[in-house]
Amino acid sequence: MELTAKRREFYDAHTEAVKRFSALEASGKPVPAKDQALKAEWDKWVADGNASRKVVSDAQRKLSDSRGVAELSLSRPNGAMVDATKFDGEVTTKEVLLDASVKPPDGPSASRKLKATLQRAKIKDETGKDVIGRWIVTTIGPA
């Protein structure tokens, strides 16, 4: 928020110049030397804003990805779903190597080494007690 407010202040103080060198860049013309320092500062504001938005977007995506696994891990079959957004906790990941007998649709069974990724959630409930979810297989692939 603070970054956005400061960028807006900069833009408001230099609106005409920003519009001028943005139009020049869009038309493929060089920005005059007198505007180079201001343009460099504006470019830094834009880059910092983009980087900040990416950090937030990545965090939201990570939270969204973890939420589904956490809710599956914490909920019990035929029971109520747990809303993982209401608790503080973490998701633990573990990789397991497997020797499996695999039968392709058009051939004989063969022994294969596979790697499975398992995840489970651990939260503190309303009383502060640890609640540990069950392991959920999230991926299986070649080892």
Per-residue pLDDT of the chain (143 residues; tens, 9 = 90+): 687 888 889 889 999 988 988 898 899 988 888 888 988 998 898 898 888 888 888 877 776 677 788 888 888 877 777 777 778 888 899 999 999 998 888 889 999 999 999 999 998 888 888 989 999 999 999 99
Q: Which of 42, 45, 52 is nearest to 17 (CA)?
A: 42
122: Cα separation from own chain's centroid? 20
Q: Which amino acid is at 100?
A: A
54: Cα separation from own chain's centroid? 9
User: Are 123 and 89 within 8 A, CB to CB?
Assistant: yes
Please list the residues that pair with 137 across neighbouring strands: 118
Q: Where are the domains of the chain?
A: 2-63, 86-142
